[in-house]
Structure 1
Amino acid sequence: MSHVLDSSTTAPLTRRHLIVWLGGVVAGSVVLSVGLGYALVTAFSDAAPAPVAGPALPGVELVRDRIAAAPMLAVADSAGRTPNRAFELPAPVALPVGTRTGAVGVRTGFDRTPLGAVAQLAAIDTHVLSDMSLPGAVETYNAWALPGGVGAGGWSQTANVKSFLTSARQQGEVKDATTFVSVAPAAYQVKGVDGDAWVVACVLFDITARITDVARMGYGTCERMQWTPDGWRIAPGTPPAPAPSTWPGSELSVKAGWLPLTRPTS
């Protein structure tokens, strides 16, 4: 059985604003009224290597492509850094806790459920965005993605790391020792499923970055996830439509369909 769980028909937003904004904030040259500083950064291209479709599987791939491509709520670039706390939030859900440490230090061992796929995606992206290392992003993608995808060079998180390092004026391919980045999953969506072995999982992250100033915002992302004998992996095919980046717990976050997560205890 396959179905789309998000039927919004609005156009998706561009993906790039998260790391551009964070890089600008931590570079710090203009003080905002809320006390956070950020530098106006040079606009960079959204261009990325063309997505590579997975093996042709008539019927199956058509359904999965439709689920992945369905647009999500379009929000302004400022939505991820605008609190506007919601009066009522859905009951929070606890992400499953992984049972072991897998390749490149990523936590794994999650159940064969849609929430297990969400937890695995959260673990993968938390690892990459916390480290802000280009070699680490490439190594993580190669370890956790199935063949037939966009490749490490075309992966959204590789592009995010590269943009952050450039915008924050870092000296090499890894964030400086004085740069602090905290990444925590704050909410999730299951955009769609195809049986019990394929999911488009989405995670909204609460990200804080600091060099001399402190910046914080919400960042939403989605991936195709596929069950294998070794657990959940990033699935091949064209990446899903961009997820809305909203401030966790805001009115717009609720409108966008994000369901709150409790922080894991281990």
Structure 2
Amino acid sequence: MGRLMNTARPRLGRAAGAAQGGRRRALVVLAGAAVLVLALLVGVVVSLTSLLTGDGAAPSGPGSAVPDGPSVGSGPQAEAALAREQMLELPIEAVSPRPLSTRTAGPPITLPEPSQVVGTLVATGFDDSEQGALAQLAELTRTGLAGGDPQTWARAYGSLAEPDAAAPEQTRVHRDLVDLRRGANMAATGPLREGMTMSWTPTSAMVKGSTDDGTYTVACVLGEFVADNQGRVVNAGWGNCLPMRRVADQWRIASGPTAAPAPSAWPGSDEAVAAGWREIAR
């Protein structure tokens, strides 16, 4: 199984992780807006820019990169350590549209196609490789973020989760969707307002790490989230990491702890490259 390790990933100290782990990002609630559409769009902007960056600890420094392909062992303890390890935290403004970088974090990643797309909520049947795990996560994230509804995410997540996987409510995506709707003064779940759409399109990916036996991978995908309200559009970068396990001929969301938050950034930006995101080949 070919390694796609993220060489830009820093290891972070426990003290920094604990300090940042207790910090909650503030949500700005708009009051007294004269135009509902404007209030809704600004609420989405505020929510996205305050939510779509990691909760994790600040990086320990630019010289703390992990060597390519380190041995992490196998088994529940190795899996849990890999899932919980914090990733690079980026500034809040990194999620907003910005110029593309002239650098890359590595060659583009080609994702395989699914073998099952009919009769399933999320396309499945990706091959037994790290690229297959990335492709499965990209399909899950695209399906789960459609409409910006926490219940849609929960259904898509549950369709792929192992019995002892973390509950969907424990994932960063679910928490962000709940706060996004609250910050935009929208119903907690259900269809969007008439004339409004929300979608996510994958653009980049990286593998945080895999166990030595190759059956467990923490996969990460980054994409462009678009909220369109009757032609008024808000864009932001949105990243997602989840632990994936190969079970029979499928990739499933692995049992055990969920993954630490992904470093969200505008796809292709300097910040995205610094975090290790590699372009998905088209």
Q: Which amino acid aligns with 1:137?
A: W
Comparing 136-145 and 123-132, the one that deviates more? 136-145
1:170 Cα deviation (Å)? Answer: 2.8
Regions of 4+ moved over 4 Å: 1-7, 10-17
- Structure 2: distance between partners of 1:167 and 1:104: 32
State the TM-score, normalizing by the size of structure 1: 0.77
RMSD: 3.3
State the TM-score, normalizing by the size of structure 2: 0.73
Equivalent pair of 2:218/2:242 in contact (CA under 8 Å): yes
Do structure 1's residue 208 and structure 2's residue 208 form an aligned pair?
A: no
Equivalent pair of 2:109/2:205 in contact (CA under 8 Å): no
When residues 119 and 3 of structure 1 are mapped into structure 2, their CA distance, relative to the original with a 3 A threshold, is closer
Give the SS at the match of 1:253. helix
Structure 2 unaligned segments of length 5 or more: list them.
Answer: 31-35, 52-72
Which of 186, 189, 202 aligns to 1:170? It is: 186
Which of 236, 241, 246 aligns to 2:260? It is: 241
Which of 88, 91, 110 aligns to 2:107? It is: 91
When residues 243 and 172 of structure 1 are mapped into structure 2, their CA distance, relative to the original with a 3 A threshold, is closer
Do structure 1's residue 227 and structure 2's residue 246 form an aligned pair?
A: yes
Structure 1 unaligned segments of length 5 or more: list them.
Answer: 31-36, 45-57
- Structure 1: distance between partners of 2:38 and 2:220: 30
Equivalenced residues, count:
238
Comparing 137-146 and 249-258, the one that deviates more? 137-146
Partner in structure 1 of residue 270 of structure 2: 251
- Structure 2: distance between partners of 1:260 and 1:116: 15
Equivalent pair of 2:197/2:229 in contact (CA under 8 Å): yes
When residues 85 and 167 of structure 1 are mapped into structure 2, their CA distance, relative to the original with a 3 A threshold, is same
Equivalent pair of 2:4/2:207 in contact (CA under 8 Å): no
Give the SS at the match of 1:100. coil
1:73 Cα deviation (Å)? Answer: 1.4
Higher strand share: 1
- Structure 2: distance between partners of 1:253 and 1:107: 27
Comparing 4-13 and 188-197, the one that deviates more? 4-13
1:121 Cα deviation (Å)? Answer: 0.6
- Any idea what the Cα deviations from partners look like across 1:175-224, whole Å, max 9, x if unmatched? 32422112111111111101221100000111111125311111111110
Give the SS at the match of 1:105. coil
